[in-house]
Structure 1
Amino acid sequence: MCHAVYQILFWLWMLLYSGSRVSCLQMSNCNKTEVTMIRGMELLTSLTLSNCSLPHLENAFFMRFGHLLHLELQHSGLSSLEDFSLHSLPRLQSLSFAHNSLSKLRSWSSEPLEALVSLDLSHNRLSSLDAHSFVLYPQLQMLDLGSNQINQIADDTFYGLSHLKHLQLNGNRMMLIDGSQFHGLHRLSSLMLQHNLIEGVDPGAFESNTHLRSLRLDGNLLNCLQFLTQSGLARLVHLNLANNLLRKLEPQGFVTNVELQDLDLSRNNFTELTKESLVGLDSLERLNISHNILSHIEDGSLESLASLLQVDASFNQLTSVSESLFHANTQLEEIILSHNRIRDISPKLMQYQTHLRHLKLDGNALIEASFLQRLPPALNRLSLIVDLSSNRLQSVNLNSLLHFGHINLADNHWSCAWLVKNLLLRAPPSLNFARNWSLLSDWSEDLTKVQGIDCIEDARNRSIVLLSIGEVIHSKVQCAKSFDELNPAPPPLTWPKIPTDRFDSRSVIIWMLVAIAITFACLRWLRRFVDRKEQSKRKLKAINEVVS
């Protein structure tokens, strides 16, 4: 019954569609018969089919869709296409078979699809790529093969793709990048190889990719970076090597990557940075070396990074930082040293940082913050955000912290006596000492959100809860009645005199009626006066007519 109703609604929709002559069509939960029965298909330029039942496509399946520019067939269980299923689509520009079950890659056309510039085959079951797989797509610029099961790529797989700019092979099972897999892709701009099983990269793997600007190799098993010394990566701008097995950086390993701006080395096994580690990165703006096991950063390691804007060395094992570490990095806007073991910060560390906007030192072992008083005068403190939470501060000079954008001081080892003495006056909004708690109050069974400050008194942990009692009582407690209905209080001995005004509402009404009566009388007299004037004019006119 439901199927019959659905068929009727579908044919009614098809009738309406054939009259409206639309150029874009989206269908879901359809089958092969419904697709082949679309009327006006020769006028369509965009067709999207999702969650349909289309496991197999025959030859020339889209024969009557000759004007298609965009074709998407996703989440439809597609597992196979015959050799010429895409025949007669000469104008097709983008094609997506993503989120299906394809296990074999073919050209699927008897003639080149010379207008095709984007092909998406991600989230399928492809396991290997044969030579000349894309030879019939000579104008292809974007190819997405991500999230498949690819573990083997033939040498000439991408033969003929001289215009390819973006290639995605992420989320596969590749183990080795050899020297010929990407040969001939002279215009390749971005290459995504993250989340594979890559253990090694041949030194000449990217030798012909002289226009490569973005390379992602994060989430692999790399332990060596010798391939970076090749001239093919001289124009690289973004490089992501996070989450690998790297232990050290070879001296002058980046000397050829003169245009690199973003370098992500996080989540590896680096133990130190030396003076030679980052030599050659004159254009580097963002360096991420967080989540390693760094215990030492050699003085001068960042000296060559004159353009550096952001450095992230959080979640390491640093116990100290050289006072001249950032002296050459005068453009720094963000310094992140969170979650290390730093006990002391030299007042000279940031004496040249006039552009600093964010300073994150939370999760360390700092016992004082006097370095904030030695920041350069040219630095705009009102735009600076500092995070000193989760350290071991016992007290700070509040007067020196009043002109910052925001300073987070929560969760430190404050002295209770110092807190009581210095927080009698309300702290400015730019200083945050407290952390949020959930408190079960006596006024209500609900959990009341409050703020509190932990402190230490006589080697014992204390907590100061910050409450505005007036606001809590006003919001949580209903005021009691101020009198007893059964025994009301006696009236006062002398009642206060209530001033009265003789010009009461009755007088107002009387005067209004008088004014109305006078107004009508005046109008009536005016009417009579006009009538008399008219009669006089008529009499005078009649006399003149008789005389003449």
Structure 2
Amino acid sequence: MYPLPLSLLLLILSFSFRVSSLQLSKCNKTEVTLIRDTELLTSLTLSNCSLSHLENAFFVRFDHLLHLELQHSGLSALDVFSLNGLTRLQYLSLSHNNLSTLRSWSSEPLGALTNLDLSHNRLSKLSARSFEPYPQLQQLDLRNNQINEIEEDSFYGLPHLKHLHLNGNQLQHLDGSFFRGLHRLSSLSVQHNLIDSIEMESFESNTHLRSLRLDQNLLSSLQFLSQRGLARLVHLNLSNNRVQKLEPLQFSKNFELQDLDLSFNNLTKLNKEALSGLDSLERLNISHNFVDTVDNESLNSLVTLLQIDVSFNRLITIPKSLFENNTQLEEIILANNQIGKLSPQTFHKQNHLRYLKLSGNALGEADFLQGLSPSLNSISLYVDLSTNRLKSVNLSSLLHFRYLNLANNNWNCAWLVANLVRKLPASVNFARPWTVINDWSKNITNIEGVDCSEGERNRSIILLDVSTLPHQKTGNCECGQTYDQSNPSPPPLTWPKIPTDRFDSRSVIIWMLVAIAIAFAGLRWLRRFVDRNEKSKLGNKLNNVYISKVQWQPVRNDLERS
């Protein structure tokens, strides 16, 4: 017996703690059988458990379950009645296991089941009436299996099925009986298979089909599109196939189609009536083909078209009236072709244009932008003319666009410098990103620059906004920088630092003179103070003279004595 995890023991031993939803991970069969109060559970999720085989009536105690997931558990076999008792189950997922055989797994139909997920298993064949025990099924997920065979009536008994996923399998052919009886089927995904042919009657009874994915297959013919079962189709993805040609009126019965993806095929031409009948089409993608010719009237019927992508083809020119009837266009992508010139009338009727991408072409002039509709709100227009051959443009009429990308063109240096010195708005971009290495610090620096030509010489201009340079404060003096004779100029993108001291020589001399003056003044004041003290002492001595009481008598000389 396997040791029980603490969380499961608490759940089993606790009578007061009752839940309606339970998730277990890294469990085993014994732990699942010991779950208590199963009559209260409505949702059970088992993931990464050790449950390779389920016996009959394994979930019979979980008769109140509405949601059951058993994923990533190595499940390879279920006995005939393993799901007995799950009469209320609405969602069942057995995905990411090793199932190779599909059975009913119940003695009575699971009448409440609406969603069944069997994806990422090893199923290789769908037998007749495989899903009959699930009459209320609305979504069936069989993607990423190994299915290469579907017997007739495999989906019999599923009148309510709306979403069917068969992508990521090994189907090579779609037979007319595969989806028979699925009258409410709304979306069908069969991409990433090996399908090279589709019978005409394959979707005859699927009159409610709205989304069909056939991308990443081997289709070369689209004849099946003319059947009436696809009349209400809205989304159709045919990308990454081998379609070489669109036959006239091929889409004439798909009058509700809004999204059509034909990218990554082998188309070489867009004929006059190739897209006729698509009166509701809003998004068309024919990028990454080999289209070199577009008929002047090939888009005439697409009056509701909002987006068109013809990038990565081989177009050299565009008919000036190609978009004449497409007045609702908001996005036109013609990037990465070989277009050398456009007429001023090319986009003159596009009043709702928001995005125009012409990068990666060979345009030498941008005069066609002068012919834009006067009713167009140019403030919301994004124009990409990068990577062309423009030498100069009339910027005065282009400054009010929401964004104008002019990077990586063959600009005339004189014209470029004259316009760069002007204060251009941030919506106009000439620069392309560069990555350089600073010669002094060896650090990688991201900058912006512009290429231009002057005669036969090519130049590069680095764009540097001085106001945005960070000012770094450092206390280290850089006075000892040496002069490198082999590289006398300062390194790129580095401003020379001028060493400055707090006191220069002039200040030192001034302060020395001030100090000497102060010293002389101090000595002079000290001398006056000493002289004053000496005079004061002498005056005091004269005032204190002593006179004796002895009377003074004059002295006589010898003559007087005789």
TM-score computed with the length of structure 1 as normaliser: 0.86
Matched, 1:56 2:74: no
User: How far did residue 272 of structure 1 move?
Assistant: 0.3
Q: Paired residue for 2:501?
A: 483
Deviation digits for residues 102-133 of structure 1, max 9, x if unmatched? 00001110001110000000110000000010
2 CA distance for matches of 1:10 and 1:473? 59
**AA partner of residue 445 (structure 2):** T
User: Which of 171, 175, 179 is residue 178 of structure 1 equivalent to?
Assistant: 175
Matched, 1:147 2:118: no
Percent identity over paired residues: 62
Q: Paired residue for 2:438?
A: 441
**AA partner of residue 463 (structure 1):** S
RMSD over aligned CA atoms reads: 2.0
Q: Paired residue for 1:218?
A: 215
2 CA distance for matches of 1:444 and 1:57? 67
**AA partner of residue 8 (structure 2):** F
Q: Paired residue for 1:459?
A: 456
Matched ranges for 1:23-42 at <5 A: 23-42=20-39
Matched ranges for 1:237-248 at <5 A: 237-248=234-245
Matched ranges for 1:15-414 at <5 A: 15-16=13-14, 18-414=15-411
**AA partner of residue 369 (structure 1):** A
State the SS of the aligned residue for 2:9.
helix
Matched, 1:420 2:417: yes
Contact 2:304–2:326 at 8 Å: present in 1 too?
yes
**AA partner of residue 483 (structure 1):** D
1 CA distance for matches of 2:164 and 2:448? 51
**AA partner of residue 350 (structure 2):** Q
State the SS of the aligned residue for 2:44.
strand
2 CA distance for matches of 1:70 and 1:408? 53
1 CA distance for matches of 2:295 and 2:203? 32
User: How far did residue 455 of structure 1 move?
Assistant: 1.1
Deviation digits for residues 165-190 of structure 1, max 9, x if unmatched? 00000010001111111000000000
Q: Taking structure 1 as reference, are residues 202 and 364 closer, same or farther at Cα in structure 2, changes over 3 Å only? A: same
User: How far did residue 27 of structure 1 move?
Assistant: 1.0
2 CA distance for matches of 1:52 and 1:32? 8
User: How far did residue 448 of structure 1 move?
Assistant: 2.1
1 CA distance for matches of 2:140 and 2:317? 47
**AA partner of residue 107 (structure 1):** S
**AA partner of residue 435 (structure 1):** R
2 CA distance for matches of 1:179 and 1:352? 45
**AA partner of residue 35 (structure 2):** I
2 CA distance for matches of 1:70 and 1:154? 30
Q: Which runs of 5+ in 2 are unaligned?
A: 476-496, 515-562
State the SS of the aligned residue for 1:19.
coil
User: How far did residue 8 of structure 1 move?
Assistant: 3.9
2 CA distance for matches of 1:344 and 1:114? 65
After superposing on structure 2, the runs of 4+ consecutive aligned residues of structure 1 that deviate more than 3 Å are 6-10, 13-16, 442-445, 469-473, 475-482, 484-494
User: How far did residue 440 of structure 1 move?
Assistant: 2.2
User: How far did residue 383 of structure 1 move?
Assistant: 0.3
User: How far did residue 11 of structure 1 move?
Assistant: 1.2
User: Which of 4, 7, 14 is residue 5 of structure 2 equivalent to?
Assistant: 7
Contact 2:11–2:17 at 8 Å: present in 1 too?
no
User: How far did residue 39 of structure 1 move?
Assistant: 1.5
Q: Taking structure 1 as reference, are residues 488 and 306 closer, same or farther at Cα in structure 2, changes over 3 Å only? A: same
State the SS of the aligned residue for 1:20.
coil
Q: Taking structure 1 as reference, are residues 386 and 87 closer, same or farther at Cα in structure 2, changes over 3 Å only? A: same
1 CA distance for matches of 2:258 and 2:374? 29
**AA partner of residue 206 (structure 1):** F
| Pair member with larger Rg | 2
2 CA distance for matches of 1:483 and 1:54? 80
1 CA distance for matches of 2:47 and 2:424? 58
User: How far did residue 13 of structure 1 move?
Assistant: 4.5
2 CA distance for matches of 1:222 and 1:410? 39
User: How far did residue 481 of structure 1 move?
Assistant: 6.3
User: How far did residue 97 of structure 1 move?
Assistant: 0.6
User: How far did residue 477 of structure 1 move?
Assistant: 7.7
Contact 1:339–1:362 at 8 Å: present in 2 too?
yes
1 CA distance for matches of 2:468 and 2:162? 62
1 CA distance for matches of 2:162 and 2:473? 63
2 CA distance for matches of 1:214 and 1:247? 23
User: How far did residue 470 of structure 1 move?
Assistant: 5.4
Deviation digits for residues 326-377 of structure 1, max 9, x if unmatched? 0100000000001000000110001100000000100101011111111111
Q: Taking structure 1 as reference, are residues 268 and 476 closer, same or farther at Cα in structure 2, changes over 3 Å only? A: farther
User: How far did residue 441 of structure 1 move?
Assistant: 2.7
TM-score computed with the length of structure 2 as normaliser: 0.84
1 CA distance for matches of 2:88 and 2:467? 73
State the SS of the aligned residue for 2:368.
helix
**AA partner of residue 35 (structure 1):** V
State the SS of the aligned residue for 2:96.
coil
Q: Which runs of 5+ in 1 are unaligned?
A: 495-548
User: How far did residue 485 of structure 1 move?
Assistant: 7.8
1 CA distance for matches of 2:200 and 2:473? 70
Contact 2:270–2:295 at 8 Å: present in 1 too?
yes
User: How far did residue 468 of structure 1 move?
Assistant: 2.7
**AA partner of residue 177 (structure 1):** L
Q: Paired residue for 1:431?
A: 428
Aligned length in residues: 491
**AA partner of residue 319 (structure 2):** S
